[in-house]
Amino acid sequence: MRKLPVWEILLHYFKTLFFIILIQICFHADSPFSFNNRRETSRNEFFCGKITEQYEEYEVTDVREGRKYEDHKEKKENIPMEEQKKQEITFRPYQKECLDILNPIESGRHLIALPTGCGKTMIFTHLERKGRTLILSHRDELVRQPEKYYDCPFGIEKADETSHGEEVVSASVQSMHSDKRLRRFRTDDFDTIIVDEAHHAAAPSYKKILNYFSDARRVFGFTATPKRGDSVRLDDVFDDIVFSRDLRWGIKNGYLCDIRCKLVNGNYTLNGVKKTAGDFNQQDLDGKLSSAETIALAAKVYMDNCHTKSKHTLIYCVNKKICVLLLTAIRTLVPGEEERIQMVTGDTPDEERRRILDDFSSGKVVSIVNCMVLTEGTDLPICDAILNFRPTCNSSLYTQIVGRGTRLYEGKEHCLVIDIIPDDGKERSLCTAPTLFGINPLLLDKKEQQKINEDVDLSELCDLIKGHITSISEQLEYEIESVNRLVAETEDAFNTAPDIRTYIQEYAPWNTQKEDEELDTQGLLVRETADADKAYVIYPDYSQKIYLSKPDLFGRTTIQFDVDENDFPGLDSDRFIGDLPWDEAITLARDYCGTLPDYYRYGWDKDAAKIWQKTHCTGKQSSRIKRDLKKYDLDTKDAENLNKFEASMLLDQVSTLNKNKRFLKEFGYKTNTSKRIKEQKKQNYERMEEQEQEKNEKGKSLFPAFQKRVMQKVEKQKQESERRENAQDKLKKATSVKLNITLYGGSSYHPSAKQVAFFQSLIEETSQKGYLLPENADISNWDKLQASCMISILLWIKDHMPSLQKPKRISNVNEILCEAEKTGYGLCATEVRFVYDTQYR
């Protein structure tokens, strides 16, 4: 037998040792490679060592048969030393308040609204888990973001990554909504579903996932955008909003930084730009923004307002092409600093993108040009300037853009938001920084717009405009200034325009307002205002108003009726306020307007307004216009040629002007006004404001009663209409009607010229309805009393008789005239008989 060399003996020894160790590893019960232990090892436990809980053995052969939370039996916890040393998490007061509201909820689909930067991830990752949890996100950054907050098995469902029965699963919606992916789960696999950035939840992909997991008891959606501004409604996804804080609240309470704003005219228009999926079409925008002049302007705006002031800026563009153009333009203006200006698009590799973002956070990069990449899931608190070169009417998107700059950061006083706006933004519901606080700056007058600049705290200015401030002195001063300005501008326009036609064409405010195309107004004439809380206004008559707020994500609006108190005896209020779905609110507004006299219809009904625009104004209207405007330099000779709509709107404006003057007389004061009088006026104004608040509260409590009254009025009107229709049907078939008329004048006088003219106009109107006089009927052959008789009959026919398809003639005119002659001055009972024109002889 051959003697083995030492090296060969050692080799056999190490081979044997290796296989012994391998067998021990594979069959050891606590080994992550154990074949006996069928538990799927989570990616956290295997790779990161973060898992702090061990479970008893159980078998899993398919994820669809995966473990349920209540099936797990805990073994003794094995808590790493570093976990024992981990400090207890401290929640902000509002985060704790939110958790206290959410934790007791056992079922339902609920929405939580929190501004960007207020820690919504901290909230939903610390909800009490009553079973397995599924987190739905639509961006890679958001899918992985919650992982660091959990100390339990955490799985990923995205692209090539799959979960294996973990207690918490974070999924990409794009991956999760596929049938193949969903079939790996049972419909009751998750007790709680969390929807991050829930304003996307109206999309079919989200709905498909939520409908599949129909057995989930709780669904919580988190969003920074509780207002609907992009045709998105969530009322078919969520039941209600259970917790809400807005951007203004976050700034006022010190959780977010202040915002300053600058609006820059970009010398382009949105004419021809269509809307696609609730926002401006990107291809159409490209044609408007990619010109050399517009790109050069945007680059200059950046240099003047951001680069020279050492700001850390995020620039938002429409697409990659414009990003490249703007990046090139800016870099040519910063020789030697080109690398400090970077670009991130959807095509940027992940590693390069992370490097750019890290360099931006460290200050090495001062500006990043991007095309809608740096929105949700991007935390760059060093950012103190946003340059928006991407016009949008999507409030959710705009909120996310500005949210990148509102996070607190050491040494950061505020975030400057620069909007490069089109010339016609007012007509396209454009989002700008002030719209975040409920003010549309493009609907303000020019002097008011000039106040919006980088030296003014934006939230405080918007509070002033909306009347949210607590200082009654400051509010009164602001309102006096605003009303003074409105009066001055209106009177200046009256004095500047050479004639009344020019005024209406160039100065009239109702010619410059366009209503929101996204909302169904059921044919109501709705005008927009600058205040989102009263974004739309309807005028039922000369003095009454109906306001509606911007609809929220559930399609609900706050509707306010400022009406005539005398129309609602017993309620003792002229204001009623309630929250309704938009469609119901518009229907109620239309029903209310319909209860008013028909001659007010032009002011609230689109079709009626169109008719009035083709109808000549009355002599009374033109006379009043001349009388009310004679003190101005406006030439009113052409007032007779206005249409009814123009004349009525002009008279409404004069009425508003006089109302504003009365306000100034009661509350206004000048710099030389005595301190005592100033104080008295402030006290009067404060009392008025208190009365307004009391009126609002009372109006809210009386709203159901108001609704009931309106419905009663509508029902009564409907019954009266049915009675009239029945009466009209009878009159259509009637061959005669008996009338009591009052006769004026005498038999010895000829009809006056005024009677003759009025008679001729009545002949024309009644013939249009199908009622004719005999061809030989001639008022010139009658006396004044007979003319009065026939005028009264024709007037009654015009007002009461139905229109006919087959004309009828009055067959007994001579008898009626003889009867009038016999009766003389005073009341006369007569019968008017009709025959069809074809039967008349």
Q: What pLDDT does 390 receive?
A: 93
Region 339-365: mean pLDDT is 93
Task: Give the position of tokens 């340059």.
Answer: 387
Domains and CATH numbers, the chain: 1-37 (no CATH), 85-245 (3.40.50.300), 250-466 (3.40.50.300), 485-705 (no CATH), 734-839 (no CATH)
Helices (H) and strands (E) in the chain, counts: 28, 24
Query: What's the angle, vertex CA 34, arms to CA 33 and CA 40, rounded to 5?
Result: 75
Tell me: the pLDDT tens digits for 779-790?
Answer: 888 888 888 899
Say yes or no to pLDDT of 250 above 90. yes
Q: Is 452 helix (H, G, I), strand (E, B) or coil?
A: coil
Task: Sheet with 575-581: list strands edge to edge.
Answer: 527-528, 536-538, 545-548, 556-562, 575-581
- Min mean pLDDT across 260-269, 585-594, 672-681 is at 672-681
- pLDDT band of 441, cuts 50, 70, 90: confident
Say yes or no to pLDDT of 55 above 60. no
Tell me: the pLDDT tens digits for 601-629?
Answer: 888 998 888 888 888 888 888 888 888 88
- Min mean pLDDT across 35-39, 142-146, 665-669 is at 35-39
Distance (Å, whole) CA 506 – CA 709: 42
Query: Is residue 421 within 8 Å of 264, Cβ to Cβ?
Result: yes
User: For residue 757, what are the CA distances in angstroms to 619, 760, 761, 792?
Assistant: 15, 5, 6, 14
Helix axes 675-701, 703-733, angle to 10 degrees: 70
Say yes or no to pLDDT of 638 above 70. yes
Distance (Å, whole) CA 370 – CA 351: 16
Say yes or no to pLDDT of 468 above 80. no
Tell me: the pLDDT tens digits for 722-766?
Answer: 888 888 788 788 888 898 888 877 667 788 888 888 999 999 899
- pLDDT band of 646, cuts 50, 70, 90: confident
Q: What pLDDT does 61 receive?
A: 31
DSSP 524: B
DSSP 552-597: BTTSEEEEEEE--GGGSTTT--SEEEEEEEHHHHHHHHHHHHHTS-
Q: Is 315 helix (H, G, I), strand (E, B) or coil?
A: strand
Task: Sheet with 108-113: list strands edge to edge.
Answer: 154-157, 168-172, 133-137, 192-196, 218-223, 108-113, 240-244
Task: Give the position of tokens 């004044």.
Answer: 784
Tell me: the pLDDT tens digits for 480-514?
Answer: 777 777 778 788 888 888 888 888 877 766 655 55
HSE of 618 in the Cβ direction (CA atoms, 13 Å)?
6
Query: Is residue 523 within 8 Å of 607, Cβ to Cβ?
Result: yes
Name the more confident of 215 and 8: 215
Tell me: the pLDDT tens digits for 783-825?
Answer: 888 888 999 999 999 888 888 888 889 989 989 888 888 888 7
Q: What pLDDT does 88 receive?
A: 62
Greatest CA span in the chain, whole angstroms? 164
Query: Is residue 745 within 8 Å of 783, Cβ to Cβ?
Result: yes
Residues near 409 by beta carbon (within 8 Å), at least 6 away in sequence: 257, 381, 382, 384
Computed over every residue of the chain, the mean pLDDT equals 82
Residues near 809 by beta carbon (within 8 Å), at least 6 away in sequence: 771, 772, 773, 774, 834, 835, 836, 837, 840
